């Protein structure tokens, strides 16, 4: 017995030592940039009916804004797309500043052709992760807020019929819990984005109310999957640096809504590639920029609201959060482009080719003929360190001409990586293609050497 006890204690000591080493010596540094406000942030409280205020005296609803936008929104004559931020455990409603400010700056860049009205709920920083007795009350208050927000747009030409929900931590669970309310209309929400939300189970299942609330929400989503297919949900995990909510708890794979749900880790999100701790996920600039770009790409030009097409919503979210093709989002990727006859052309016939360039003053096209390569190789790979999002790899179907005057854009097949953008093409998929064409734009002001590598290879 003494030997067994000694072995057991030794294993415990080893596990504790490994935990200490993991925390103090393998801690990943914060690679997120801070999100700053360009103008003084303001939070305008929205007056709710007295009955609501008496029923929920500790909770509030606010509209976020800065500068001219807030001055024009004093009387709540809103014309944008409503977004509602739900803070998590002990979270502040002021955490909405990052997404609110970034979205406002992007709207300014496009002359307010589209813009978002960003709201935030004040839950009085309640500790709902430790005591779940307030979760149901918070859910009911959010339902009231959604109806109050939609009423603000009743005089608009195309009034929004739904609200985008952005939930941090337990706020993301509140967003899903709304659907369990008997009087809630599912069409009120067609997009939910959660940040570091433990969807699977509570981090500390020590409270009866929390476990019951989780069972209620997850059972509803599993049993009513068909009714929820029109609601797109994106779950973002913080990765290694989030010690409070491990990434496994944020995955939506356990729910029966695979066609309309997407789970990602911030370290794998294109143009983010950084782990976040539990709080920095709400202000990580790289992640907030990806979220803002996705929101603007989700806008329907006709209704000036978030698209009702669930397939498009998933396509946009996949573009920004899963696989970025190193170019701006387009509804239809395959396009034919005409080339000027004065452009510089070079034909490369080798099986392995590399080019390092700095300060290129003229745009150049490098064509790679495929006729003599098909018997030996079945794959074509190209990598470029020129990371700007533009069309850069094409296909040509003119076997006789010395220049391809019309080329097909294949850039949507590429993938943006942290240090390069790369594409791998299977030759049998391009039976009628005579050349692959690499486009190199003028890089007059480039301070770095840009490297381009191409090779053919065979995969059995």
> Which residues carry out catalysis?
169
CB burial class (10 A; 0-12, 13-18, 19+) of residue 153?
buried
Nearest to 251 by CA among 243, 238, 219: 238
Nearest to 235 by CA among 277, 191, 179: 191
Rg of the chain's alpha carbons, rounded to an integer?
Answer: 26
Nearest to 240 by CA among 280, 289, 201, 199: 280
Distance CA 408, CA 337 (A): 6
CA 295 to chain centre: 9
Tell me how many degrees the CA angle 33-35-41 measures, rounded to the nearest 5. Answer: 165
Confirm if 233 and 261 have CB atoms less than 8 A apart: yes
SS3 173: helix
Buried b (16+ CB within 10 A) or exposed e, 340-374: eeeeeeeebeeeebebeeeebeeebbbbbebeebe
Q: Would you tell me how many other CB atoms lie within 10 Å of the CB of residue 291?
A: 23
CB burial class (10 A; 0-12, 13-18, 19+) of residue 99?
buried
Buried b (16+ CB within 10 A) or exposed e, 25-59: eeeeeeebeebeeeeebbbeeeebeeebeeebeeb
């Amino acid at each position: 017995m003494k030997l067994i006890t000694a072995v057991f204690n030794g294993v415990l000591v080893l596990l504790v030592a490994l935990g200490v080493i993991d925390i103090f010596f393998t801690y990943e540094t914060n690679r997120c940039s801070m999100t700053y406000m360009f103008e003084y942030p303001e939070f305008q409280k929205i007056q709710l009916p007295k009955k609501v205020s008496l029923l929920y005296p500790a909770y509030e609803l606010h509209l976020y804004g800065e500068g001219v936008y807030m001055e024009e929104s004093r009387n709540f004559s809103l014309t944008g797309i409503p977004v509602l931020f739900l803070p998590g455990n002990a979270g502040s409603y002021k955490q909405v500043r990052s997404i609110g400010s970034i979205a406002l700056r992007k709207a300014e860049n496009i002359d307010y052709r589209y813009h978002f009205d960003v709201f935030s709920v004040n839950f009085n920083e309640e500790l709902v992760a430790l005591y779940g007795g307030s979760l149901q009350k918070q859910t009911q208050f959010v339902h009231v807020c959604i109806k109050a927000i939609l009423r603000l747009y009743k005089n608009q030409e195309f009034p929004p019929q739904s609200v985008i929900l952005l939930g941090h931590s337990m706020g993301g669970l509140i967003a899903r819990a709304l659907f369990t309310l008997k009087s809630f209309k599912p069409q009120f929400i067609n997009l939910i984005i959660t940040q570091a939300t433990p969807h699977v189970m509570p981090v500390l299942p020590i409270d009866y109310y929390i476990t019951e609330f989780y069972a209620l929400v997850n059972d509803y989503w599993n049993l009513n999957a068909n009714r929820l297919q029109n609601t797109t949900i994106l779950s973002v995990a913080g990765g290694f640096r989030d010690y409070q909510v491990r990434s496994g708890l944020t995955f939506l794979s356990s729910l029966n809504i695979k066609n309309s749900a997407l789970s990602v880790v911030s370290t794998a999100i294109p143009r983010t590639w950084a782990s976040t701790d539990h709080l920095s996920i709400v202000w990580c600039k790289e992640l907030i920029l990806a979220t803002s770009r996705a929101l603007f790409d989700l806008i329907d030009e006709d209704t000036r609201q978030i698209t009702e097409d669930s397939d498009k919503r998933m396509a946009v979210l996949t573009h920004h959060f899963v696989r970025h093709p190193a170019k701006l989002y387009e509804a239809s990727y395959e396009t034919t482009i005409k080339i000027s006859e004065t452009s510089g052309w070079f034909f490369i016939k080798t099986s392995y080719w590399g080019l390092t360039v700095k300060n290129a003053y003229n745009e150049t096209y490098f064509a790679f003929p495929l006729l003599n390569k098909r018997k030996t190789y079945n794959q074509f790979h190209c990598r470029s360190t020129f990371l700007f999002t533009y069309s850069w790899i094409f296909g040509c179907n003119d076997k006789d001409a010395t220049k391809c005057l019309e080329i097909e854009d294949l850039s949507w097949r590429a993938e943006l990586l942290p240090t390069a953008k790369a594409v791998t093409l299977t030759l049998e998929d391009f039976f009628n293609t005579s050349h692959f064409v690499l486009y190199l734009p003028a890089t007059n002001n480039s301070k770095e050497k840009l490297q381009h590598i191409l090779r053919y290879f065979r995969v059995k």
